[in-house]
Amino acid sequence: MKNIVILISGGGSNMAAIVRHAQTAHWKQRLGAQVVAVISNKAGAGGLAFAREQGIATAVLDHTAYPSREAFDAALMAEIDRHDPQGQPALVVLAGFMRILTPGFVAHYAGRLVNIHPSLLPAFTGLNTHQRALDEGCQFAGATVHRVTPELDHGEILAQAVVPVLPGDSADTLAARVLTQEHLIYPRALERLLAG
């Protein structure tokens, strides 16, 4: 079985879209793949309730309880690997996981770590992507699914979606338009990876 662990920090709508797609597209039967755990660095993350309702194991690791980024990432690796019998989840999926990862973490999951970022990379790495796109007068915005490398928001692009920037858009209205597309491209990009 190809086990998938999803990391979140908040609402978890991308995680929910992946879980729902895995069900409707019969990942278990067709691809031998399943979401085995959802892990959050924030206890209040809304997505945790959804995961529990789906019968998926959940865990919270509060990064503020660790003395260093390395210590947190080491604990996170142990928690992730605990959810796979071989200690080697097929995919570790970052879905709104708002943490910068250490090189050691990225190396541990080399080739198995993917992220979604709310911009058309390589434009607008980092935070506040939608406001920055509006400030630059961009006519299009979007989202990118990419492999994770030690450099923030870099790595091979696996999928992108483009949306128009509309007159009167705020960062919030643009973010909502982009998010609907994230929910479409992320599950499909993962499915392509799982299908090899």
Catalytic residues: 117
**DSSP at 64:** G
**Shortest Cβ 7–ligand GAR spacing (Å):** 10
Q: Should residue 41 be labelled a site residue for ligand GAR when binding is judged by CB under 6 A?
A: no
Binds ligand GAR by CB under 6 A, chosen from 10, 89, 142, 187 = 10
Q: Should residue 58 be labelled a site residue for ligand GAR when binding is judged by CB under 6 A?
A: no
Identify residues 92-111 at the interface with ligand GAR (CB under 6 A): 95-96, 98
**Shortest Cβ 87–ligand GAR spacing (Å):** 26
CA-to-CA distance for 61 and 98, rounded, in angstroms? 13
Asked if the peptide bond before residue 118 counts as cis, ω within 30 degrees of 0, the response is: no
Alpha helices in the chain (DSSP H): 13-24, 27-31, 47-53, 69-82, 103-108, 129-135, 171-195
Q: Which residue is nearest to ligand GAR (CB)?
A: 96
Is residue 149 helix, strand or coil? coil
- Give the binding range for ligand GAR (CB under 6 A) out of 12-20, 32-40, 70-78, 79-87: 12-20
Q: Should residue 8 be labelled a site residue for ligand GAR when binding is judged by CB under 6 A?
A: yes
Question: Does the CA dihedral 80-85-88-93 come out positive or negative?
Answer: negative
CB-based contact 189:158 (threshold 8 Å): yes
**Shortest Cβ 141–ligand GAR spacing (Å):** 11
Identify residues 130-189 at the interface with ligand GAR (CB under 6 A): 143, 179, 182
**Shortest Cβ 171–ligand GAR spacing (Å):** 11
The footprint of ligand GAR on this chain (CB under 6 A) covers a number of residues equal to 15
Nearer to ligand GAR, 80 or 95 (CB): 95
In DSSP notation, 165-180 reads --TT--HHHHHHHHHH
Helices 171-195/13-24 angle, 10° precision: 40
Contacts to ligand GAR by CB under 6 A: 8, 10-14, 95-96, 98, 116-118, 143, 179, 182
